[in-house]
Every structure is written in structure tokens, then in C-alpha cells.
Structure 1
Amino acid sequence: MHKCIKMVVFTVLVVLSLQQIAFANEETKRPPKPTEGIESSDPNHGSSTDSDNESVQRASGLFYNYYCSIDNTGSDLYLEGSTVANYLSDQVKLTLYLQIWDGSQWIDVQSWPFTQYNSKSVTEGANTSFQHGNYYRTRAVHYIKYGTQTETQNSTSSYIYVD
């Protein structure tokens, strides 16, 4: 009987130690951080307003302001952007791009174009799925047409890691 109890205790200890090893192997190691762009201070939200040179973009000419952002909602990624003109314009455009870091550069994965006519602004968003274990950010192209004048600006959000 005493030998049987020792065997059961030994077996339980072996099983428990193997489970700890199995759980340790399941932990995902975060890939190296991107060498381009700015890391967001908020793990679930990145914005073009995070950097000093792109904070709530304000430009002279046709643009009043512009920005883009990315949010991890837990179930998907939500990208948002805005293009705001100084004047009621013939065309105001916003194109959002989801970018993923491939280990050496940012790659456009998907895009969403939005256009408003006879307007001062366009503010839109899009939901998309993600793969765990990657860095993501939003890139946006902002465009305004006012009579014969056209102007384009670009913005890029800070990046987030999706665990």
C-alpha cells in the first residue's frame, strides 16, 4: 500500500511538471519591434496624433486637418480616418490602408476608399480581421479638390501589437 501511494504521488508530480513545460512552450514570443514608425503608448490604440510632426495634422492651403487611427477591439481591428477641408470642396477623399510589419517593412494588406462630393469633410472607418502575433498600423491618403486646385496629404498611425 505504501509503495502504491508513493507511485501515485510520483506520477502526479511528473504530470504536473510536464504540464508546466507544455504551458511554457505555448507562450508566444513577441517578434522584434518594427524599425520604422512609432510604437503606440496604448496597446490597443494607435493614432497619427501620437507623433509630434503629425499631431492632429494642420496644413495651410486646402487642408484644415487630417488624421488616421487604429484600434484593437478584441474581436477585430477598427481603422478610422478624417480629411477636413478649409472650404466647401468639389471632392474630399480619404483612403485607409491596413499595414502589417513583415519583419523588414510595412506592407499594405487591405484598403478602403471613401469620397464625398460638395463637402468640407469625410470621416470614415472600417472593421477588419487580424492575425495574432503581428504589428499593425493605419496609413491614410487624404485628398481635396477645390476648383482647379488639388492637394494630397499622408498620415500614418503609431503601431500596435496584437497578441
Structure 2
Amino acid sequence: MNTFNHIVVAYDGQDESQAALRTGIDLSKQLASRLTVVHVYQEEHVMHTKGVQPVIPSAPANGYLTDNLQNYPVAPDPSHQLDQTHTQHDYFDNADQIVSRIKMKMDENQAIGEIEILSGSPSDAILNYAEEINADLIVMGSRDSGGLKKLLFGGVSDKVSHNSAISVLIAK
């Protein structure tokens, strides 16, 4: 029988990962295992609009466009562009909320563990981190994607379970 000395739980705040966190906490307590909860920040999804030109011309001072286009949306003023620093700051505010939720759930269940914020592709980050710390088990939720989307892109849990050398438990 496998011994699970170190359990990694993937958490993104969705209902499915809530189930994974509950399962990971329960297992770590029952097996007296070390627990690490990871949240992955996808850097490629950072929004920044530098260099993006508006598709629709900016509105004149009166707020209406000419040529009878007043019912169409007005593109944002390019002078009010976001920069990467601002967006990363927003992310870290969100990460604080995620960490708070994880800590609250761990406290409710009298569980002791670590929390790590990772960046990159979720499946790659989870796999690399679990291997790096010599984890014995990865616990994650399974999100039911639409048929075509799942077929074309696959889910994070699918990618992790298919590419992991470490045991993976999908909590539902």
C-alpha cells in the first residue's frame, strides 16, 4: 500500500476545488500527512492593453458617434491603458483572498499545512511543484467542461492525471 507522507491540494476557489480541499484536509489528518495547498496564477492571462488600438473610434465630446452609430459601444480611450504592474497588483489582492479562504477552511478543520502561490500553466505548475517537493499525492477537483471545449483543450485535472508520475485523486 502507498504511504502518502506529503499531500498537495490544487485550489482555485471554485466549488470543485473546495471539495478537493476538504478531501485533502481529511486525508492529511487521517494519515498524519504533511499538507500543502497550491493556487496557480496564470501569467498568460494577465490583461494589459499597451499597443492595442480601439476598433471603434473614440466618442466626440457630446458622447455620440457620427453616422448613426450612437447605439454601438465606444472603445476605451487608449490613454487609459492598463500596465502590467497594476494588473499584477490586482492579482496579488485576489491571491490574498484565496489564501484567506484556504486558511479559514484549514482553521475550521483544525488542519495544519502550507499554502503556496505558483505561476504559469496550472497543470504544469502543479506537476512541477509536486515533483519538486517529493509529494506522494495530488488532490484536485474536476470541473465538468462542455464536451467540445473539453475535447479540444482538456481540463487541468485531465492533464495532471495523465501526465503525473505521482498518484492523483480527483475529488467530487
Bigger radius of gyration, 1 or 2? 1
Structure number with higher relative contact order (C-alpha < 8 Å, ≥ 6 residues apart): 2
In proportion to residue count, which structure has more strand? 1
Bin for the TM-score computed over the shorter chain: under 0.3
